[in-house]
Structures are given as structure tokens and as C-alpha cells.
A = this chain, B = another copy of it.
Amino acid sequence: MAEGLAELIQRFNPGARASVAVRHNGTLYFAVTPKSPFDPALSAAEQAAQLFEKADERLAMGGTSKSGLLFVAILLADMADYDAVNRVWDAWIDPKAPPSRACFQARLANPAMKVEMIMISATG
């Protein structure tokens, strides 16, 4: 690795397995889930609301906000939840500064987790 590269990267809450978010070159990368431990009794929409609360915190940690989002990939454990999660999305997103996005169904790491998102955001 080039000398000094480490100083150009900011890792937030690095753990043994992953960092919660990583910033480089004015861009913040992270994945975000509902509140852990995941509660299977919650609907996908309720889990999405938890997820967005965590996303707000991560974006703030990274020096930005949802208004800086560039791209979001929405992973749903069940595409039947698409409309319900979109309603929470539509209420959360900055309507003047929405990111580009994609949505697909995928089995997630924990069967109690109904939604996960990958977010790329601009930062200061």
C-alpha cells in the first residue's frame, strides 16, 4: 500500500470483523441493518424505520447526512415488503436530494432481519 494511504482513510467504530463505516476521498461507505438483536416480530417497515435511525447516526458520524447520499442498495428478505418499505423510505429521504437506488430480494445473514441497505454518501 502506498505510504500514507492509511491517513487518507477514516474508519468509524472498527471491530474485529468490519468497520461500521469507512470514509475516503470525500465518500462514505457503509451497510446498515435494523436495530440488533433483530426482532422478527417487527414488520419490514418497522425494521426499516430502525435502520434509517441508525443510518442517520452513521451519516452524522461520517460528517454528512441523508442529503449527501449518492447511492443506496436496498436488500429485502421478501420482495412482498417492497411497498411497505418504500413508504418508510419516501418519508425518510430528503425529497430535494434523493440518492440513486436499486432494490432486490436476497436472503440476509440473519433470518430475523427483513431489510438491509448499502449506502454510499458524499461527505465534507
Contact = CB atoms under 8 A, between A and B. Distances in A.
> Which 6 pairs across A and B sit closest by C-beta, in order of nearness?
A2-B124, A31-B102, A105-B107, A104-B106, A29-B71, A1-B65
Contacts of A101: 17-18, 31
Contacts of A118: 71, 73, 102
Contacts of A41: none
Interface string A54-96: 0000000001110111110101000100100010011001011
B14 A96 contact: yes
- The A interface is mostly helix, strand or loop, or mixed, namely mixed
Contacts of A9: 68, 70, 97, 122
Contacts of A100: 18-22, 29-31
Copies of this chain, how many? 3
Could you say which of A26, A27, A82 has the most chain B C-beta atoms within 10 Å of its C-beta?
Answer: A27
A84 to B, nearest CB: 13
Contacts of A116: 102, 104
A24 B27 contact: yes
B63 A2 contact: yes
A29 B97 CA distance: 14
Contacts of A26: 8, 24-25
